[in-house]
Every structure is written in structure tokens, then in C-alpha cells.
Structure 1
């Protein structure tokens, strides 16, 4: 039985969404094709009518997730909106729910080990975000520093077992970033 083009597109989108959630929560390399397809109620063999390989799926996940991060964190920013975004980013909710948050802290190590195409794709979106923040902050280097500190703080907080220490990491990072944002640029 042949499916319509719209059905195939809907299935591909469901697979992307489900795989992205799984990858951000448990890591992309931990789940095989059969497991990814089972999560949306299909057999492993159906995977190859949507993607030529698991690597192609990962590249699509990176593109989708970083595009969404750019929309949430980078578009239409002013200092107040940026500060509100950073407060939400550096929150216990983000630590505890990696599947619904930014892909960079969750998938950064896997992106770094990926082929050059995936790394270039990630670079494109990260640079767009940095450029957006640099425009708001009027400093390229401050934008890079804050972007790196946010991702790093989330990674460190997720590595820790104690919620009290996790909160301390997030609060300290947010307070330091807030001081940097408030400082007049010279």
C-alpha cells in the first residue's frame, strides 16, 4: 500500500520530533534505528524511506533543534528579553528536562564527534545566535563568553547529583552574566 506524500512528510516530522526528544534526553548514539521507529509505532525497515542513514537523521535533528533554539533565543532580542531568556535557560526546569530544552548542552559532545557537515551546520546556527546577542550587547567577545558560559553551566549542573549544588551553579552563572550585561561597554 502506498502512502500519500503528506503522510510520508507527517511520519518524517514525527520521527524527527521523537528522535530529537530521545537524543536530548538519553543521547543519540544510545538508541538504534529499531528503537527510534518503535517510538512512533513503526517498524525499523520503514526508517529508510525517510532517511538514508542514522547520520542523516542526526544532521536533520541538529538543523531542526538549533533552528528552534535560534528562534527562541536569538530573534528580536533586546537586553531585557535577552536577560529573561538567560534566566529561563539557566533554570532547574532546563536542567531537569533536557528533552524540551536546548540541544547544545545535550548533544554538544555528539556534534563535536560528528562529521564536518554536521559541525558546519551547528557552527552556522551558533554563529547566528552569537551575532544576534553581539548586536544586543554591542560586543562580539561578550556574546561568545555568555553563550559559552550558558551552555557550560547547564552541562555542569546536569553532571551534578545534588539539586542544591545544581541551583548554585545556575544562580552563580546567571548573576555573573547579569553583571556582565549590566556593565557599560567601552
Structure 2
């Protein structure tokens, strides 16, 4: 039997985590069995336990990975400081983001399920969200980010809730209007002047 090196094992684990993150956001945690997750990664079920102790272990790892990626994406796509806040809001509440849950934010896609997960997953989620929130708070109040932490959490709640509701509505026009109103509400929360 051929043995694989450490690098191969790390690449395989990374592939499982990335494909699981997309699948979880697309089909939900409960709707994604180990067989499907491993098939997505091009691996057999037997290979799963060489990388993870349980599905819950994979869920916690994938959630943390998805939030790290979201944080990096926000930093890469939005201008620094307050100037980037409007960009973040508009990117988050875009039709493209709404219509691509597998490629989007884990908050809007998985929030209801994460609340029912084991403590390790909820802690991985909390750690990832706090990192994201700290980045947003630093944009809101660069001189005193801790003073803007609750506002940043409120912004995330507004964004994720608006996106979730927009995804759930069958009336496409109403769903689009909701995104636009969400943008307006978020910018008002942030004190960003909007054209009349």
C-alpha cells in the first residue's frame, strides 16, 4: 500500500474543508451527509476518518474556514476605512450574493443551523464572527473600534437577516426591493449619507 506524504494529506484535508464549506452553504449542515461531502471532494467515505474525528469536527473546521475566507474577501474587495463600508453593504446585499448561497456568506446560509450545533462549532463560529466584526468596527470607528463593536454586530445581523429573507421570498421583485431597502437601512445605521 502506497503511503502519502504530509503535504498530500494536508492538501486532501484542505479540499475536503473547502468542498464541505460550499456544500453546507448550499444544502445546509443537516442536508449534507459524509458520503456526499466526500464524493464532492473526490474521495471515498473511508478516507474521511483519516482527516476528521466526526462530521461535527468537519463542520467546526469548515465554518471557521468559511469565516476566514469571508474576512479575507471583505478586506480584499472593499476600500480601506469608512469608504469601504458602503462597498461591503452593497456587495453583501447584491442579487449575485443572494443567488449564489454556495459561494457566499456562511452567516446567511447557516445561521439557523449553527445555533443548534455542538459547542465546538458554535465557538468556531463565534471566533470567526468576532474577527469579522472587529474588522468592520475598525472601519466604523478607526480611533476606537471597541466602541463600534455592537454597531458592527447589528450591521451583520441586519445584512444576514435581509439576505436570508430575500432568499426565502418567491416573489423576485419583492426580494429585490427588500435588498435595496436593506442597503438603505444599513447605510442609515452606519451614518452614510444617501442621495435623496
Q: Which residue of 2 aligns with 1:144?
A: 153
Q: Is the 8 A contact 1:74 1:133 kept in 2?
A: no
Q: Which residue of 2 aligns with 1:124?
A: 127
- Measured in 2, the distance between the counterparts of 1:36 and 1:127 equals 27
Kindly indicate whether residue 121 of structure 2 is the aligned counterpart of residue 113 of structure 1: no
Q: Which residue of 1 aligns with 2:40?
A: 39
1:43-96: CA deviation from partner (whole Å, max 9, x where unpaired): 111111111111100010011011112222368741111210110100111111
TM-score by length of 2: 0.87
Question: After the TM superposition, which residues 21-170 of structure 1 pair with which residues of structure 2 at under 5 Å, given as runs?
Answer: 21-73=22-74, 77-138=80-141, 139-170=148-179
- Measured in 1, the distance between the counterparts of 2:174 and 2:27 equals 22
TM-score by length of 1: 0.91
Structure 1 gaps, min length 5: none
State the SS of the aligned residue for 2:43.
Answer: coil
Q: Is the 8 A contact 2:61 2:124 kept in 1?
A: no
Task: Between 97-106 and 77-86, report the one with greater CA deviation.
Answer: 77-86
- Measured in 2, the distance between the counterparts of 1:39 and 1:145 equals 35
- Measured in 2, the distance between the counterparts of 1:24 and 1:179 equals 29
The Cα RMSD (Å) is 1.8
- Measured in 1, the distance between the counterparts of 2:139 and 2:40 equals 41
Q: Which residue of 2 aligns with 1:19?
A: 20
The alignment of Structure 1 onto Structure 2 pairs a total of residues equal to: 184
Task: Between 71-80 and 7-16, report the one with greater CA deviation.
Answer: 71-80
- Measured in 1, the distance between the counterparts of 2:68 and 2:139 equals 19
Task: Between 54-63 and 129-138, report the one with greater CA deviation.
Answer: 129-138
Kindly indicate whether residue 185 of structure 2 is the aligned counterpart of residue 176 of structure 1: yes
- Measured in 1, the distance between the counterparts of 2:126 and 2:166 equals 24
Task: Between 123-132 and 100-109, report the one with greater CA deviation.
Answer: 123-132
Structure 2 gaps, min length 5: 142-147
- Measured in 2, the distance between the counterparts of 1:33 and 1:71 equals 28
Task: Between 99-108 and 27-36, report the one with greater CA deviation.
Answer: 27-36
